[in-house]
Amino acid sequence: MNVVIIGLSAAGLSCLDTLLRFSPDTDITVISEEKYSPYCRCLLTYYLGRKLQEDQMTIKDISTCPANTHFIFGERVEQIDTKKKSVILSTGKEIVYDKLLVATGSNAIKPKYYGEEKRTFTLRYLDDAKKIEQYIKDKAIVLGGGFVGIKTAYGLFERNIKVTMIISSPYPLSMVLDERTARFVERDLKGLGIVMRTQEDIAEIRMEKDMVHISLKSGTELKSDVIVVGKGVKPRVDLAKKSGINTDLGITVNEFLETSAEGVYAAGDCCGAMDVVRKTPWINAIWPVAVEQGYFAALNMSGAHTPYPGSIGMNSLKTNTFHLISGGVLKDEEGITIFEKHIPHKNQFRKLAVRDNVPVGMAFYNSPEDAGIIINLIKKGLPLTVDPKKIVNSEVSLMDILKPL
């Protein structure tokens, strides 16, 4: 079998590893547009915080791969010919495949004033981080209050850079958390010394004496060395679209992660697989989901028909002072009951959203011990066997939850 993988990040790498493990006689060609050996995007914020060096970010030593694996770095795929079963590279080279994985990932959403001359960067590639590193001195502005924004701000804060966060919504993490949980995060980040300006946005940017001068909508003037934008990501589906593969939110896939073209699979941030909680195709652009989808795509490619069970949005945010794990949907909707408990002396907060006795969302603040079980219950759509009040009170053990199942 001849497998071609487009993209060498989470999904592509996981697919490669799984194929090497379960069907070692497959001929694999990996096409990556980056010039670096595979690294992890999640580590970019740690790289900015100088906790990691560049060589520590490499997550796979490609020289250890067997001889039937070929790597093409620094080249893009221009077209997929689904009838002839081949991909055409930017150099004009044509590579034939039996099975193809499209793991093109996603791009950061760029604001209109984006650009190096305005010192405004997104944090998506190693090159972005290097550029930020080049311009940063002692002040930075982080735009957007999502997980990337907060992790960037915390990373920069740890190397004694004055960070100001500008968040357009009334509280941070407004896409994933409810207000009460988010206030704990806000309080802790402010306590560390990160300045947070909520319900604000940038009105104007101008360069003066090698510093960016920013006017906010409220009229406040700020100065900074760089602006880092973390406003979410957008799936890269243009390659699939122009090759005639059905796309919707992301690339449309069936339960075996196969696209509308035969033998073409999709995984990662560009793949619109089923979301367990929302029960519609949805893109959860996070590392663990991409790895999982790459694993299932590889299983299906090698002939072991394994349906992908679906993903949920989840994330973990850990700093010196707090650890937040959230998953699923926490919105107060019709038919969803919310259970919550705040234990002030332990500085813990647990919140659980339950629909028809099946957990659909959770946010555990400072209590990572119980989070994994609930996340997996949400992921598998399994019902709760104990009173949810006891779970938020942390009065149950794993046995109570798992034994009756």
> How buried is 213 (Cβ within 10 angstroms: 0-12 exposed, 13-18 middle, 19+ buried)?
middle
Residue spans of beta strands (DSSP E) within 25-76: 27-32, 69-73
Give the shortest CB-402-to-another protein separation in angstroms: 8
* Contacting residue, 295, 308, 339, 365, with another protein by CB under 8 A: 295
60 binds another protein (CB under 8 A): yes
* Nearer to another protein (CB atom), residue 264 or residue 377: 377
Residue 346 structure tokens: 């332990």
Taking residues 318 to 357 in sequence order and writing x for each that binds another protein by CB under 8 A, - otherwise, the string is x----x-x-x------------------------------
* Nearer to another protein (CB atom), residue 303 or residue 372: 372
Measured in degrees and rounded to the nearest 5, phi and psi for residue 211 equal -130, 150
* Contacting residue, 54, 133, 238, 395, with another protein by CB under 8 A: 395
Residue 19 structure tokens: 């194929």
Residue 299 structure tokens: 């299983």
372 binds another protein (CB under 8 A): yes
59 binds another protein (CB under 8 A): yes
* Nearer to another protein (CB atom), residue 68 or residue 397: 397
Taking residues 374 to 393 in sequence order and writing x for each that binds another protein by CB under 8 A, - otherwise, the string is -xx---------x---x---
Q: Helix, strand, or coil here: 299?
A: helix
* Contacting residue, 69, 106, 284, 315, with another protein by CB under 8 A: 315
Give the shortest CB-176-to-another protein separation in angstroms: 13
* Interacting span for another protein (CB under 8 A) from 42-50, 70-78, 166-174, 262-270: 42-50
Residue 60 structure tokens: 């796979």
Under a CB-based contact definition with an 8 Å cutoff, are residues 266 and 251 in contact? yes
Strand partners, 215: 204, 221
Site size for another protein (CB under 8 A): 40
Give the shortest CB-43-to-another protein separation in angstroms: 6
271 binds another protein (CB under 8 A): no
Give the shortest CB-52-to-another protein separation in angstroms: 7
Element (H, E) at 224: strand 221-224
Under a CB-based contact definition with an 8 Å cutoff, are residues 212 and 139 in contact? no
Taking residues 10 to 29 in sequence order and writing x for each that binds another protein by CB under 8 A, - otherwise, the string is ----x---------------
**Distance between CA atoms of residues 27 and 228, nearest Å:** 40
Name the residue with tokens 């670096």. 36
42 binds another protein (CB under 8 A): yes
Give the shortest CB-299-to-another protein separation in angstroms: 10
* Nearer to another protein (CB atom), residue 82 or residue 284: 284
Give the shortest CB-11-to-another protein separation in angstroms: 11
Give the shortest CB-15-to-another protein separation in angstroms: 12
* Contacting residue, 121, 287, 339, 365, with another protein by CB under 8 A: 287
366 binds another protein (CB under 8 A): no
Residue 329 structure tokens: 């949907």
DSSP string spanning 104-147? --EEEPPPTT-BGGGTEEE-SSHHHHHHHHHH-SSEEEEE--SH
Q: Which amino acid, 80?
A: I
Give the shortest CB-291-to-another protein separation in angstroms: 4
Give the shortest CB-187-to-another protein separation in angstroms: 19
Residue 254 structure tokens: 């069936």
Q: Shortest CA distance to 72 belongs to which of 57, 49, 94?
A: 94
Q: What is the DSSP letter of 353?
A: E
> How buried is 3 (Cβ within 10 angstroms: 0-12 exposed, 13-18 middle, 19+ buried)?
buried
Which positions ≥6 away from 344 have C-beta within 8 Å?
A: none
288 binds another protein (CB under 8 A): yes
CA 404 to mean position of chain CA atoms: 34
Give the shortest CB-173-to-another protein separation in angstroms: 15
Measured in degrees and rounded to the nearest 5, phi and psi for residue 324 equal -115, 130
Name the residue with tokens 């790895």. 291
* Interacting span for another protein (CB under 8 A) from 209-217, 263-271, 341-349, 394-402: 394-402
Residue 40 structure tokens: 């992890």
Binding site for another protein (CB under 8 A): 14, 40-43, 46, 51-52, 56, 59-60, 287-288, 291-292, 295, 314-318, 323, 325, 327, 368-373, 375-376, 386, 390, 395-400
